[in-house]
Amino acid sequence: MEMNPVLVIGATGYVGARLAVRLLARGIPVRAAGRIREKLLIRPFSLDPGIELVTCDVLDVPSLRSACAGCSAVYYLVHSMDPGQRDFSHADREGARNMARAAELENVERIIYLGGLGDPHAGISEHLRSRIEVGEILAAGKVPVTTLRAAMVIGGGSGSFEILRYLVDRLPIMITPRWVDTESQPIAIRNVLDYLVGVLETPATAGGTFDIGGPEVTTYRRLMDI
């Protein structure tokens, strides 16, 4: 029996590109979505016969609905991290509302969202607060949402990991900011992908929120030492 495709929004990103490959390896048809088609075409997965490439922008509802049409599930893996964008949280909120609405109108069965791990009542960054808020907006919609909450993702190419490695490589002596003693629960990219695929294949996770930090709680100072 032919399967409906799974939509990966943010397929040109660090997690999305790897997730698309993992899904294809399991025989799951993938519709990979990004804002710029040329960036999709340079990804190795673009040559796989099981993939369909589409362009869409979460701030543009018609393109988002078109990308969702006929899909059984959607992975929502986008965040407004552009440092030049003055109000990224507003864009995040609008994108999340559009996603929830488009999924409802196109009869998508579920949304899977990778958010951030942190206490919203603690002194967290604006970016982490926005990621938590996106999860709440998606969950308020009519389509069941599975939210995975991860801290730093460890792996070559991960934005937060590369920043940490850059500091260690380039600054043998530095006045460390206060955040280096903040506790974190980092997780390897391969384990993040395991969870993302696992919840898709486990219908009972629909509507749930799961923290997927790694087994060890450590500080950024300790990660820099390692």
Q: pTM for this one?
A: 0.83
The 10 Å Cβ neighbour count of residue 133 is: 16
pLDDT by 10s per residue, the chain, length 226: 578 999 999 999 989 999 999 999 999 999 999 999 999 999 999 999 999 999 999 999 999 999 999 999 999 998 765 545 557 788 899 999 999 999 999 999 999 999 887 666 666 667 677 888 999 999 999 999 999 998 777 776 655 655 666 666 666 665 565 666 566 678 889 999 999 999 999 999 999 999 987 667 666 667 666 6
CA pair distance 125, 72, nearest whole angstrom:
34
Are the C-beta atoms of residues 10 and 16 closer than 8 Å to each other? yes
Q: How far is CA 61 from the centre of its chain?
A: 19
